[in-house]
Chain A
Amino acid sequence: VQLVESGGGLVQPGGSLRLSCAASGFIFSDYPMNWVRQAPGKGLEWVSYISTSGSTTHHADSVTGRLTISRDNAKNSLYLQMNSLKAEDTAVYYCVRDTYLAGDYWGQGTLVTVSS
């Protein structure tokens, strides 16, 4: 199992970014997926969930309306579209495989920095 995030970087407040997570080593379409973030020196924060087909999504209140999770099962890829970014969105963003009971595999993370 391998999860590789990309797309992080420095963006100005109010800007946009799209994170990607490339999955391999398992049948991607069999698993729900999540995004979890961790601000520098802080704890873990669950961000978003998407079902196997992509028909069901959930987002944390702190990101609803600004961050949107999606997936492309044909490309074995998970995405997080990030709009209207704020300084408090600065964090390492992890792509996490969901077994319905836990997040069992985590990517290495991609750093998003929102600053002017």
Chain B
Amino acid sequence: DIQMTQSPSSLSASVGDRVTITCRASQGIRNYLVWYQQKPGKVPKLLIYAASTLQSGVPSRFSGSGSGTDFTLTISSLQPEDVATYYCQKFNSAPFTFGGGTKVEIK
């Protein structure tokens, strides 16, 4: 089965900083990569699908890129409301494995 590895597992950044989270697949998954945001105590929310397509209603400071095995989620200017754990998920075929998550905090 394909493994999904996220890095870093956590990060602390200042408001306004550019934040980058990486997700690596152990085998190619074309662009079948999804990003979710889970705020503390809340249900996960879809941010980006097909590696780079922003879900309706998601702020434009979020962007995704990549294809094959290496993917990136970028927050162009970190805001206090972005404090959350971010997960990637492969969606090319079952098993639809998640990455381990990246916890984002404000410095």
Measured CB to CB, the residues of A under 8 A from B are 34, 36, 43-46, 49, 58, 60-61, 94, 99-104, 106-109
Measured CB to CB, the residues of B under 8 A from A are 1, 32, 34, 36, 38, 43-46, 49-50, 55, 85, 87, 89, 91, 94-101
Count of A-B residue pairs with CB < 8 Å: 59
* Measured CA separation A71–B98 after assembly (Å): 23
* Measured CA separation A37–B51 after assembly (Å): 23
From A43, A60, A100, contact of B101 by CB (8 A): A43
Closest B residue, CB atoms, query A92: B43
From A43, A58, A109, contact of B43 by CB (8 A): A109
* Measured CA separation A104–B44 after assembly (Å): 10
Known: A102-B34, A103-B34. A49 touches B49 (CB 8 A): no
B101 touches A107 (CB 8 A): no
List of B residues within 8 angstroms of A44 by Cβ: 36, 38, 44, 87, 89, 98, 101
List of B residues within 8 angstroms of A104 by Cβ: 46, 49, 55
Known: A61-B1, A103-B34, A107-B43. A49 touches B101 (CB 8 A): no
List of B residues within 8 angstroms of A101 by Cβ: 32, 34, 49-50, 91
A94 touches B49 (CB 8 A): no
